[in-house]
Structure 1
């Protein structure tokens, strides 16, 4: 078993395997003891760089901040949608999930955060250690100088210095966490420059310089294993630290390496339409906020400006300024910016990205902290909801989604994928009627918790896509990796009063099985989905699909058995945020033959036969060809042909 796991690890790492192996050897042979030794304070002193120091005129933003600060003192910092005592009423090394204490004096590389014997899911204590809530306390100190905020901020930082020495304890394990904490501290210093006690400021500066050194020494691991948001975050952290210590020996090298890392990864990370290789709503916001921070620092590379604008436009095209969107891909509430608003919305970051890129957005002001505290002290623009329910409908394409609206119906068809933080969900159809979900992405559950829960949410079993004999589209390996990939195909046809999307993938062809095609037709009357599976072999393959149902699922016309809260196999759950899941009905469907039809808001009236479906007064006929797929649609008034070559 161990040999097969090692072989799978090597396959997943690819060409980066030798560098990763050398790094792991250093951890076990004592090399890290020399590389990550604690160095003495060299007396370097930071400068305020103005990051996040705008003070809003909006009464709403001010009230929001002071209420949040009071809640921090009363109930603790925010971790994944809840308040925890860590850092406020308990030491910084107390795990919020279990109440156990992570080792305080142990070198970080000797702490087990991955095996089944680990103390807990480390993301919980890391989230508290990002210190975004310290930024809120610093803001409150500016708004209300006579309040208790600054004293509490000093107390929390002094506790941090005593409990989290450089290169000791779990808070020094990840370079990304060090970079994010440095960005938070830069904001605290920018807001309170001159107000922070001298001993606290000196110890902050010592840890900030130690953080820069750690990030640099850790680069072999980051470059070999983290060619994603981690590399962007490490680069950004070095740039921020270089700006804070312009006179420190080596800081110019920090800036040079930081921007080089950021731009190198950015060239891999961004697509032409502003979407990203991390196929995740949460991580799109995370990276977009990194780009905004780099923009705010000034002397902005043109690549960063283009990426920031593109990222904002991609989210706008997805529909985040118009209401809720699917929580696709991995979701963990990861942030770079500090705010005092609910964590689930991506609208604030998107608005800030567009405003910073020069777009004039109308509407009421003061709704988003991401705009109020980072861009200007004046009243700042917030986009009014956009009415896209035009008579002819609307179709937009961004990233791996075709977004379609007709009347009250808004539909997201997942017709693409990405190599990082994605779920095995190509072909998924998420349907909203006005502001209520009919089918809904079930969320993420966990990364580092029980593996059956992790895979229960991220694999094809958690999404409305077909699986043959229990096989997965991508094949999960460990908590984050996949064993294979594929390139789906799609085509869109705009007809009178309707939009039709055909998506085709060959995820299972390598397993000796056929292709899968899905036709999604959206009109003002509702949504019709027609599925086809190319039959191969002896035809005994059992094709199954689970459809997570939304709160408005009574509008769903679907042949399936309702499953809620099943543990084996894991299905019938919904995760509103990272680390939480609750029972929610899914419909378990079985394909009888080669076609299947379902709908929302309109009657199916379906008659299915070999390669053909009659539904809602129209006939859908598929032709599986060696060079592609053709679907002919005929009705009483018109006909259309949907053709994909090379699929």
Structure 2
């Protein structure tokens, strides 16, 4: 039997051939995890054939009356901090059942077919036992991440927030939209049938969003009996599926955290359900056991992605808010992880508009809704140099709101390094809200292989590529092998405000015998110097890429960077430079502002072929 699983968990083998490859690659944990999942799926299939009560249970009016969550006349969940900034057209679209799913249109339909229609291809995802649905690259339906987005039901939370602030007529439309869409999702997706059960994380996010959305519209609900019965059906089925899947220990930290948060909510809000105590206990166990994997001691993410760190931080925030609201004790390590992650993210947010740079993989992930805002620490980021030694980042803040982020951290979380990018020693430079040197982003997980390779590879970052190879060896769409080691060599901040940071990585040493050393120096005049020194033996093709977020104009001395209050001059020594914008051959000059979308930018590519050692020298200064 061939079993295909979620791309969030597809890192373990699914066939005998893949099992052999996993063992040959030194990943016996992949083989063991895959074998256990296949066994669990076989059990699910048997339970379906035998008509298991877990899979077929329906809830009566008596059940909803016995549920403290369902019968309450007042909100049960804690009040959260929201920032809903929607124009009239966006509100009307939501009220009419229309969404933009990563740039693709989606529209709710009363027959429920919308939940299975792929926004990107228009194909219909099959409604069959979920382990047999292929979601990996090359499947005939599309990118599973896109069809999952509306089925997270997080837009229902936004509709609930609209209902709270709107006039009675708009509120009635918002409440009706929440109820009808929620009921149609439950009716169109019986437990274990369809693509929406492939990923336990998707189930977890749907459970959380459903509870919060319905709690928000509780006072104005129009069909309470049907809605509460459907909610009990969803919670009981989803929570038990999450528990069974995560009992196998998911290799993805943020997937485990989302599942744990959902189990804790299900267990503490629906205490009358027979498995509630088990859900709560297992959810708390997962949190305490896995928290060190989620948040490092310096507040960063071991997955090396700021988007997933924000996602994890918000999940911790939901748990802290829930336990405080219920006046129940919370393990101190959970609260500390939340505080550390907020402080870390605060250092990386752009001062002008609160954005996070798109470091590492990101797919627009939100714990509950895009409008959720947990308060950040009320302190101004320190000037000068801040280094996060465990996560491997140095932030240099200079005059005129200049800020550089230097990545000297690891590839990601072993043993798979999923969601990490091959971006050792890359640099981002910002002035206020203007991005000068940028991280191009993610674009896709399972779409076109060439685009996936470009955006997560070394060429798609502001660093040096050797002989056209990435700093690590890609293994499929998400994983890497032969990860690079990094070493922070030197850091100094003088009393006068000059900052120097030097680091090296060894990603090319084993394969090519090449070591890359980069030094970044900032002078109080507002000038930057980036020195790249490559050592080793033999002749190599070296390629330095600078991905630029503003207008680039060639001048005699180098390149003029425009669109700022005061233009900058960028000069590069050590090779022959050329500009690329939206190029396909070679692939260069692209960024992805959001998952599934790409747009042209200017990339300055500097190339040199010759013996080592060799150096590149890049200078950026005010004109």
Fold match (TM-score > 0.5): yes
**Which of 22, 25, 32 is the matching residue for 1:19?**
32
Q: Which moved more, 1:546-555 or 1:504-513?
A: 546-555
**CA 1:6–1:387 in structure 2 vs 1: closer, same or farther (change >3 Å)?**
closer
- Give the whole-Å Cα distance in 2 for the aligned partners of 1:55 and 1:306: 19
2:192 pairs with 1:167? yes
Q: Where does residue 130 of structure 2 map in the other structure?
A: 108
1:192 is displaced (CA, Å) by 2.8
- State the SS of the aligned residue for 1:34: helix
CA contact (8 A) 2:443 2:596 kept: yes
- State the SS of the aligned residue for 1:236: helix
CA contact (8 A) 2:294 2:312 kept: no
The CA RMSD measured in Å over matched residues stands at: 2.8
Q: Where does residue 607 of structure 1 map in the other structure?
A: none
2:175 pairs with 1:150? yes
Task: Spell out, residue by residue over 1:62-97, the C-alpha distance to the aligned partner (whole angstroms, 9 max, x if none).
Answer: 774987542312461342366522468962111111
**CA 1:9–1:569 in structure 2 vs 1: closer, same or farther (change >3 Å)?**
farther
- State the SS of the aligned residue for 2:211: helix
TM-score (norm 1): 0.79
2:301 pairs with 1:309? no
- State the SS of the aligned residue for 2:272: coil
2:193 pairs with 1:179? no
- State the SS of the aligned residue for 1:146: helix
CA contact (8 A) 2:385 2:493 kept: no
1:193 is displaced (CA, Å) by 3.0
Q: Which runs of structure 2 are paired with 1:82-93 in the superposition (5 Å)?
A: 84-86=106-108, 91-93=114-116
**CA 1:184–1:325 in structure 2 vs 1: closer, same or farther (change >3 Å)?**
closer
Q: Where does residue 120 of structure 2 map in the other structure?
A: 97
Q: Where does residue 611 of structure 1 map in the other structure?
A: none
2:397 pairs with 1:405? yes
- Give the whole-Å Cα distance in 2 for the aligned partners of 1:291 and 1:432: 29
- State the SS of the aligned residue for 2:543: strand
CA contact (8 A) 1:233 1:290 kept: yes
1:32 is displaced (CA, Å) by 3.4
2:535 pairs with 1:534? yes
Task: Spell out, residue by residue over 1:430-469, the C-alpha distance to the aligned partner (whole angstroms, 9 max, x if none).
Answer: 1123332221111101001111111110011111222221
Unaligned runs of 5+ in 1: 341-347, 362-382, 604-647
Task: Spell out, residue by residue over 1:185-217, the C-alpha distance to the aligned partner (whole angstroms, 9 max, x if none).
Answer: 111232233625211220121121011111122
2:296 pairs with 1:283? no
Q: Where does residue 570 of structure 1 map in the other structure?
A: 587
Q: Where does residue 12 of structure 2 map in the other structure?
A: none
CA contact (8 A) 1:461 1:472 kept: yes
Q: Which runs of structure 2 are paired with 1:476-491 in the superposition (5 Å)?
A: 476-490=474-488, 491=490
CA contact (8 A) 1:130 1:177 kept: yes
CA contact (8 A) 1:544 1:590 kept: yes
- State the SS of the aligned residue for 2:116: coil
Q: Where does residue 500 of structure 2 map in the other structure?
A: 500
CA contact (8 A) 2:22 2:28 kept: no
**CA 1:17–1:5 in structure 2 vs 1: closer, same or farther (change >3 Å)?**
closer
**CA 1:13–1:311 in structure 2 vs 1: closer, same or farther (change >3 Å)?**
farther
- State the SS of the aligned residue for 1:541: strand
- Give the whole-Å Cα distance in 2 for the aligned partners of 1:250 and 1:387: 46
**CA 1:11–1:434 in structure 2 vs 1: closer, same or farther (change >3 Å)?**
farther
Q: Where does residue 370 of structure 1 map in the other structure?
A: none
- Give the whole-Å Cα distance in 2 for the aligned partners of 1:206 and 1:458: 40
CA contact (8 A) 2:349 2:357 kept: no
- Give the whole-Å Cα distance in 2 for the aligned partners of 1:387 and 1:262: 30
Q: Which moved more, 1:81-90 or 1:282-291?
A: 81-90
Q: Where does residue 45 of structure 2 map in the other structure?
A: 33
- State the SS of the aligned residue for 1:421: coil
Q: Where does residue 54 of structure 1 map in the other structure?
A: 79
2:581 pairs with 1:583? no
- Give the whole-Å Cα distance in 2 for the aligned partners of 1:567 and 1:63: 37
Q: How many residues in Structure 1 have an aligned counterpart in Structure 2?
A: 553
- Give the whole-Å Cα distance in 2 for the aligned partners of 1:79 and 1:15: 37
Task: Spell out, residue by residue over 1:367-426, the C-alpha distance to the aligned partner (whole angstroms, 9 max, x if none).
Answer: xxxxxxxxxxxxxxxx8xx586x6xx4545373211101212211111112324211101
Unaligned runs of 5+ in 2: 1-14, 553-560, 562-567
